[in-house]
Amino acid sequence: MGRFDGKVALVTGASRGIGRGIALRLAAEGADVVVNFLGYPEEAAEVAALIEQHGRRALVVEADTADRAALTAMFEQAVATLGRLDIAVANAATSIREAVVDADWEHVQRTIAVAQFGVFHTCQLAAQQMVRQGAGGKIVIIGSVHAEIAVPRSAAYNMAKAAVNHLGATLAAELAPHHINVNIVNPGWIDTPGERRFASEEDIRQGGKRIPWGRLGTPEDIAGVVAFLVSDDADYVTGATLRADGGFKLGLRLPDP
């Protein structure tokens, strides 16, 4: 018996990185999974195949989380195909790193459209379905330590992640009477394919040494945290922000005198 037997989960941005890790962990523990993706069809199909190897159902849906109509259609398809929705993980995000003084406004808008408004769409549509079902539910927002640390050249992403942290707390307060848990996970520096857009293998190797835990996090590290938050063990946890960063923030120090 798995912790999520009979449950249906939806994970945005599930074809790669953290989203992939979460989708596979939930399936390994019994959930059927809606695999949302944008632009990586082969990877999404691979995730679906691995879910099915666990004996679970997988529904693969390509949809841009910034496109509300596309997300609405995805949720309708998920319920029509899998029957219900018990778990939603708002993971999809994008980041275009530029200094504020040089930032292209279209890049700023795109980052916020996905990393902030896309999370709002996902959470609202999930909440509406869970309220209709009347049986509670679990929503997790994948935030970032960028919500807590003003990382240079990431203003739009920093803004978006700070915003969705507050969204999660607000939604948790509103949904508590429905016994729908809403929590936020703020990962630190995680070893994902997307990280290679900004750092070399050597940067990643050396960067891991500077983290108190001695390495970058993995998608599986974050998946374990999410699995706890959407399990019965976390039924009394809502509105919480859990930083999963291997001590990254604690390790920030002023230069030695």
Per residue in 226-236, pLDDT (tens digit) is 999 999 999 99
Token pair for residue 214?
Answer: 């001695």
Residue 230 confidence (pLDDT): 98
Residue 257: predicted pLDDT? 63
Is the per-residue pLDDT at 140 higher than 90? Answer: yes
Give the Cβ contact number of residue 6 at 10 Å: 12
The catalytic residue among 4, 117, 157, 248 is 157
**Alpha-helical runs (H) found in 134-218:** 155-175, 201-210
* pLDDT for the residue numbered 241: 98
pLDDT band at 247 (very low <50, low <70, confident <90, very high): very high
Q: How far apart are CA 28 and CA 35, in angstroms?
A: 14
Backbone torsions φ then ψ of 87, nearest 5 degrees: -135, 135
Considering the entire predicted model, what is its pTM? 0.96
More confident residue, 200 or 44: 44
Tokens encoding 235: 């039924």
Residues of the chain with pLDDT > 90: what percent? 91
Examine the pLDDT at 224 and tell me if it is beyond 90: yes
- The confidence band for 212, taking pLDDT boundaries of 50, 70 and 90, is very high
Task: Please tell me which residue, 185 or 195, carries the higher pLDDT value.
Answer: 185
40 counts as catalytic: no
Query: pLDDT tens, 6-38?
Result: 999 999 999 999 999 999 999 999 999 999 999
Average pLDDT value for residue range 31-55:
98
Q: Work out the mean pLDDT of the chain and round it to a whole number.
A: 96
CB 192 within 8 A of CB 147: no
Examine the pLDDT at 5 and tell me if it is beyond 80.
Answer: yes
pLDDT score recorded for residue 138:
99
What is the C-alpha end-to-end distance of the chain, expressed in Å? 56
Nearest to 248 by CA among 155, 115, 149, 143: 149
- Could you tell me if 234 and 181 are in contact, meaning their C-beta atoms sit under 8 angstroms apart? yes
Residue 208: partners with Cβ closer than 8 Å, 6 or more residues away: 189, 191, 214, 215, 216
Which run of H or of E encompasses 110? helix 105-112
Q: How confident is the model at residue 254 (pLDDT cuts 50, 70, 90)?
A: low
pLDDT of residue 195: 84
Confidence grade of residue 255 (pLDDT, cut at 50, 70, 90): low
Confidence of residue 137 (pLDDT cuts 50, 70, 90): very high
Q: Are 89 and 12 in contact (CB under 8 A)?
A: yes
Spell out the domains of the chain, with CATH numbers in brackets. 8-244 (3.40.50.720)
Contacts of 205 (CB under 8 A, 6+ apart): none
Measure the CA–CA gap between 22 and 16, rounded to whole angstroms: 10
Q: Which two tokens stand for residue 72?
A: 């609405």
- The phi, psi pair for 223, rounded to 5°, reads -60, -40
Tens digit of each residue's pLDDT (9 = 90 or more) over 79-101? 999 999 999 999 999 999 999 99
Are 213 and 247 spatial neighbours (Cβ–Cβ below 8 Å)?
yes
